Amino acid sequence: MSNRPAGFEYKVLGDDVVITHHGRRATTLRGSSAQQFLIEVEQDDPQQLMARMTGNYRRGNERTARNHPRNRSRG
């Protein structure tokens, strides 16, 4: 299983860019941030860029930590 971000979409609404994750609004970019995003999304991996913009990305150790015995549910 890869750690690549997925499930992000964006919509341009006037001067704003709304980024959603699995259908739920994650963030709204306005002004120069929205303009810069629209430039970068054409040049970069869109899913990775949207994950970075929303702060919703894995750093690589979350899955390992979740599977550690002390973090497993005991039920």
13 in a domain, yes or no? yes
71 in a domain, yes or no? no
Per the structure, the complete domain to which residue 15 belongs is given by 8-63
Whole-model pTM: value is 0.70
38 in a domain, yes or no? yes
Do 25 and 11 contact (CB within 8 A), yes or no? no
pLDDT tens by residue, 4-17: 778 999 999 999 99
Reduced to 3 states (helix: H, G, I; strand: E, B; else coil), residue 22 is coil
70 in a domain, yes or no? no
Give the separation between CA 55 and CA 58, rounded to whole angstroms. Answer: 9
Evaluate if residue 74 carries a pLDDT over 60: no
Task: Name the nearest CA neighbour of 10 among 20, 22, 2, 25.
Answer: 20
14 in a domain, yes or no? yes
Mean pLDDT over the full length of the chain: 83
Amino acid 1 reads M
Most confident of 32-36, 45-49, 54-58: 32-36
34 in a domain, yes or no? yes
Total number of domains in the chain: 1
